[in-house]
């Protein structure tokens, strides 16, 4: 263990971070922008900026590495976001993928009935102004419609996919025939999903276009319990590994009244933020719902024949389904801290992001910008490092200001090139959380950093 790791501070029990803090940081530093902002924006749709796209790619790649590359019995696909319309009849979404809404007659606010407290529902009482709520809920289907073809009359109505995982069932048979996988095995996918959410909001938490990561794990019915437990625990540990506040994670089992139409049993991995305990990922016992329904609706037999026993059956499915955007938001909320300054100066805003997921891994800073030798040494270190990781070169403002700028975007390491560097080819490496500094030969720098910013 190096001096830097020894001096890393314990995770503090910091207060829950208001969403507005990360919305403001995201815009100011280029993580997330409201979509179509110059036209007034669109509710529930966001774009990712230069830092956001780096962090998002890291999140995606780490998930893919853990789920696909690191499991011999899991493969990946990437499906289209538009499918045949029958898919959504077979999946049950045309019939069941609905939200029920009531309106307040006084303040005109809208509420999803499943988000209301029972007493508000029973007494038809608005939780905000106390006014009267409409008694008959209006029902809205969340699927987003679109049309294929240009000629009026020949156009086919279909849907943007309402849950990304459907492609996995559609490609299941092709994967079995082309990939030599055998039950038990899994198929993973990361991809966009679209929902006409009636109450989008809370920044990235509930959007209308968002990205999901799914594993569908196909098992013999007799092994469902075992694999359900395996993936449930695996996913919980996975989330535990990337957050600072591990005590803000928990499992919650769905009551029978809240199970989705495809699930016989479901546990949510929940994370506590200012929004309360909220779903981060669902681990669903989908049983044979999907393959049976697609067999029935398509007329194609999607059963599996065991190569040894020759038993023929529809595999059951364990699903783990989470959100890339919700992960992004939770990680920002988990990492954000305004650390009081011991000398009473401005607090230090710092993102304690896991180094694996931070958008920029290292910043290379010459102590002074008007000393040519310092600048050229720093530039050459940066040009070498950027071949291996995201590195930023910065020579604008005093060194303290530059450290603060990097802390605010979660850069785990800053490398400072000073006058000693010119004498002995060593640099200062400063770590973000403890602000501890060590001196390292330039020749050891790349390996030192790679060891800390690459997942293993």
| Interacting residues toward ligand GAP by CB under 6 A | 163, 165, 195, 197, 206-207, 210, 212, 214, 279-282, 319, 321-323, 325-326
Looking at beta carbons, which residue is closest to ligand GAP? 323
Q: Say if CB 281 and CB 268 are below 8 A apart.
A: yes
Query: CB-wise, 113 or 436, nearer to ligand GAP?
Result: 113
212: β partners: 191, 323
Query: CB-wise, 213 or 403, nearer to ligand GAP?
Result: 213
For the bound state, the minimum distance from the C-beta of residue 258 to ligand GAP, rounded and expressed in Å, comes to: 11
Taken as a whole, the chain contains a residue count of 456
What is the token pair recorded at 262? 């495809």
Query: CB-wise, 290 or 407, nearer to ligand GAP?
Result: 290
For the bound state, the minimum distance from the C-beta of residue 214 to ligand GAP, rounded and expressed in Å, comes to: 6
For the bound state, the minimum distance from the C-beta of residue 99 to ligand GAP, rounded and expressed in Å, comes to: 11
Cα–Cα distance between 319 and 287 in angstroms, integer?
Answer: 9
Query: CB-wise, 173 or 319, nearer to ligand GAP?
Result: 319
Q: Count other C-beta atoms under 10 Å from residue 385's C-beta.
A: 23
Cα–Cα distance between 53 and 59 in angstroms, integer?
Answer: 10
Query: CB-wise, 169 or 403, nearer to ligand GAP?
Result: 169
Cα–Cα distance between 115 and 131 in angstroms, integer?
Answer: 17
Query: CB-wise, 210 or 316, nearer to ligand GAP?
Result: 210
For the bound state, the minimum distance from the C-beta of residue 107 to ligand GAP, rounded and expressed in Å, comes to: 24
Query: CB-wise, 106 or 250, nearer to ligand GAP?
Result: 250
Query: CB-wise, 58 or 278, nearer to ligand GAP?
Result: 278
Say how many CA atoms lie within 13 Å of 110 toward its Cβ. Answer: 13
Say how many CA atoms lie within 13 Å of 444 toward its Cβ. Answer: 10
Query: CB-wise, 163 or 173, nearer to ligand GAP?
Result: 163
Query: CB-wise, 215 or 378, nearer to ligand GAP?
Result: 215
For the bound state, the minimum distance from the C-beta of residue 319 to ligand GAP, rounded and expressed in Å, comes to: 6
State the helix-helix crossing angle for 372-385 and 442-453, rounded to 10 degrees.
40
Instruction: For residue 165, report the phi and psi dihedrals to the nearest 5 degrees.
Output: -65, -15
């Amino acid at each position: 263990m190096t001096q830097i790791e020894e001096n890393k501070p314990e995770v503090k029990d910091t207060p829950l971070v208001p969403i507005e803090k990360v919305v403001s940081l995201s815009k100011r530093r280029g993580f997330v922008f409201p979509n179509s902002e110059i036209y007034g924006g669109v509710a529930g749709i966001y774009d990712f900026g230069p830092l956001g796209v780096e962090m998002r790619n890291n999140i995606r790649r780490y998930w893919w590495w853990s789920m696909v590359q690191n499991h011999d019995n899991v493969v990946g696909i990437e499906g289209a976001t538009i499918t045949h319309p029958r898919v959504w009849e077979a999946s049950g979404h045309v019939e069941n993928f609905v939200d029920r809404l009531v309106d307040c007659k006084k303040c005109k606010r809208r509420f999803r009935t499943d988000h209301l407290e029972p007493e508000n529902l029973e007494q038809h009482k608005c939780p905000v102004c106390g006014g009267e709520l409409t008694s008959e809920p209006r029902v809205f289907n969340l699927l987003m419609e679109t049309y294929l073809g240009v000629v009026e009359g020949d156009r086919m109505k279909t849907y943007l996919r309402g849950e990304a995982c459907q492609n996995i069932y559609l490609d299941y048979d092709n994967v079995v025939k082309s990939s030599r996988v055998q039950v038990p095995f899994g198929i993973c996918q990361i991809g966009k999903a679209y929902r006409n959410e009636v109450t989008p909001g809370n920044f990235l938490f509930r959007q209308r276009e968002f990205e999901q990561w799914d594993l569908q794990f196909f098992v013999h019915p007799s092994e469902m319990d075992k694999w359900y437990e395996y993936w449930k625990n695996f996913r919980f540990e996975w989330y535990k590994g990337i957050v600072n506040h591990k005590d803000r994670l928990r499992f919650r089992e769905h009551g029978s009244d809240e199970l989705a139409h495809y699930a016989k049993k479901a546990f949510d991995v929940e994370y506590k933020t200012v929004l309360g305990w909220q779903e981060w990922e669902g681990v669903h016992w989908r049983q044979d719902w999907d393959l049976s329904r697609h067999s029935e609706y398509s007329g194609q037999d999607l059963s599996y024949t065991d190569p040894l026993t020759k038993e023929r059956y529809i595999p059951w499915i364990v699903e783990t389904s989470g959100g890339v955007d919700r992960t992004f938001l939770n990680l920002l909320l988990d990492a954000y801290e305004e650390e009081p300054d011991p000398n009473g100066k401005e607090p230090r805003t710092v993102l304690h992001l896991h180094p694996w997921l931070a958008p920029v891994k290292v910043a290379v800073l010459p102590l002074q910008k008007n000393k040519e030798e310092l600048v050229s040494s720093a530039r050459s270190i940066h040009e070498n490092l950027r071949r291996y990781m995201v590195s930023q070169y910065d020579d604008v403002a005093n060194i303290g200001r530059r450290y603060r700028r990097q802390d605010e975007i979660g850069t785990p390491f800053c490398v400072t090139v000073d006058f000693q560097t010119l004498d002995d080819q060593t640099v200062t490496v400063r770590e973000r959380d403890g602000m501890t500094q060590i001196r390292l030969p330039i020749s050891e720098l790349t390996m030192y950093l790679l060891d800390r910013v690459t997942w293993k």
